Chain A
Amino acid sequence: MSTVVRSVGPAPASLRDPSGPARIVWTIAAILILIPAAWLAEFNPATLMGEASLRATGQFLATFFPPALGLDFLELVARAAWKTVAIATVGTTLAVLIAIPFALIANRQLSVSALAEERMCFACAAVRTGVRWLLIALRTVPEIVWALLFVRAVGLGDAAGVIAIALTYGGMLGKVYMEILESNDARTTRALLVNGASRMQALLYGTLPVCLPELVSYTVYRWECAIRASVIMGFVGAGGLGMQMELSLKMFAGGEVLTMLAVFVALVWFADLVSAALRRWLG
C-alpha cells in the first residue's frame, strides 16, 4: 500500500471526492425533512416504547400462543385461504383480459400507419392516447378504494374483491404489457410489417417470441401481489382470509391471528414457488 503511494507521490488536493460535500449536504437535508414529517405523522418512538403500549402489546402478543388449531377453525381458515386464492386468481385473470386489448391498441411499434412515415394517423394517435389515459385512471385508484366502492355496490363478499383486483390490476398489467411489448427490438416486427404481415401476425411472430416469458413472469408476480391484496381487502369486507383475520383481531383472539398469519405466509411462499417454477420453465 505504502509503496504505491510513494511511487505516485503525495495525493494532490484534486483527489478529494468532488461529490463528497454535496452528499453531506443532502444527507443533512434529508434528515431535516424527515423530522417534521415524523412529527406530522405523530410518530413518536416514546409512545411505542411507553410502558402502557408495551404492556398492551405484550398482553396481545401473549394471546398469540398457543395458535388456534381446532379442527373447525382450521377448516374455516382453509376455506378462507382457498377463497383468497380464488379471488386473486379470478381477479388477475379478468385483469389480463382487460389488459391485453388495451396493450395491443396502445402499442406504437405495431402501427401500420406509422410504418413508412414519421407520424401515425391522427385518429390512431388519439385512440392510443385515450387508452393510455384510461389505463392510468384504472390503476391510480388503489384496489382497496375500488373494494370499498364495490362493497357498497354489490354488498359484502368476494365479488367486490374480484372486481377491485380486476380493475386496478387491469390498469397496471395494461401499462406494463405495453411497455414490455414496446421494449422489444422494433426491427423484428418491422421486418414482418413491411413484408405485408398484419398487426396481429407481427405480434405473434415478431414480438411474442421475445416477450412472452417476461409477460408471463410479470403476470404471475402480479398474481402473487393479488393474493396479498385480497387479504388486505378482506379487512373492508371483500371476503377471504382478511375478513376472518379482522374478525379475530377485533375479538383479540391472538391464537387465531397467529394461525392465519402462518397460513398467509404459507400461501405467499406457495405463490412464490409456482411463479419461480413457471419462470424456470419459460426461461
Chain B
Amino acid sequence: MSASAQLQIQRALAPRSSAAGLAISEPAVVRWLLVGIAIAFLGIFLFLPLVVVFATAFQQGIDFYLRAFQDPDTLAAIRLTLLAAAIAVPLNVAFGIAAAWLIGKFDFVGKSLLITLIDLPFSVSPVVAGLTFVLLFGLQGLIGPWLIAHDVRVVFAVPGIVLATIFVTFPFVVRELLPMIQSQGNDEEEAALTLGASGWQTFIRVTLPNVKWALIYGVILCNARAMGEFGAVSVVSGHIRGLTNTVPLHIEILYNDYQFVSAFAVASLLALLALMTLLVKSLVEWKAAQQFAAQSASEAEQTP
C-alpha cells in the first residue's frame, strides 16, 4: 500500500480532538456571523445586479420585453455580435490548442516569456486595446492611408470590431487548456507514439479526449467574453447604429436614450448567457473532478 494511502487511513482512524476541549473551531456565534456577512456581501454585490437586470427588463410586462427584440437596430446588433464571436472564437480555439500543446508538452528557451506575452491582453485595459487597433488601421494610423487608398475600412467597420474581439479574448482558451495538458503529462502521448500512432492520431484520440472538458469551458468563456466585450469594441466601432454596434454597445445607446426597459431587456440576453457560462463551469469542474477521481483510483490500483 502506498505511503499516502496509509496516511489517509491513519487520519480517518485518529480521533477528533474537539472532545478534549481544544480550540480547533470557532464558536457557533462567530461562525454564523461570518456566514451572514459573507451572504450579505455576495448578495449585495453579485445577486442584486442580476436581479435588477431581470426585474427591470420585465417591468412593463412580457409584451414590451418581446417588442424590444423587434427593433431592427437591436437585431442588427445581435447579428454583428454573433458574427464577431463566430470568427473570434474558432480562431482563438485553434491558437489556444496550438499554444497549449506547445507550452504544455515541450520545454524550451523563452517559454516563460511566451506565457507572459500570451497573457498580455489580460493586463491591457480594453480601451487601450481598442486604441492600438485605431493606431494601426485608423485614418492617421500606420497602414490606415494605404487601406483607405484601397477602399478597405477596418476601423469604424466590422473588421475592426472582429479584430478587437479577437484581441481581448486571445488568452482564454490557452489559459483553460494549459493546466489540464500540463497535469496530464506526456506519458499517454508517448505510449501512443511508440505504438505507432501518427502525431495527429495521437492528438485527436489521446490528448483531446483527456482535455475535452477544459476545452469546452475555454470555448464557453471565450465566447461569453467575445459577445460581451465593451471597451475595446467601443473605441473601434464608431457607434453607427444598425451597422457597427454590437449588443453591449446597443445596450449603452438604449440606456443613454433613457429607454431603460429596452436596454435591460437586451441586457437580460447577455445575463442569461452569463448564467449559462457559470452553469457550464460548475458542470466542467464536476466532470473534471470525476475524471481525476477515476484516474487516481486506477493509478492507486496499479501502484503496489
A, B: real partners: no
Point out residues on A near B: beta carbons under 8 Å: none
Point out residues on B near A: beta carbons under 8 Å: none
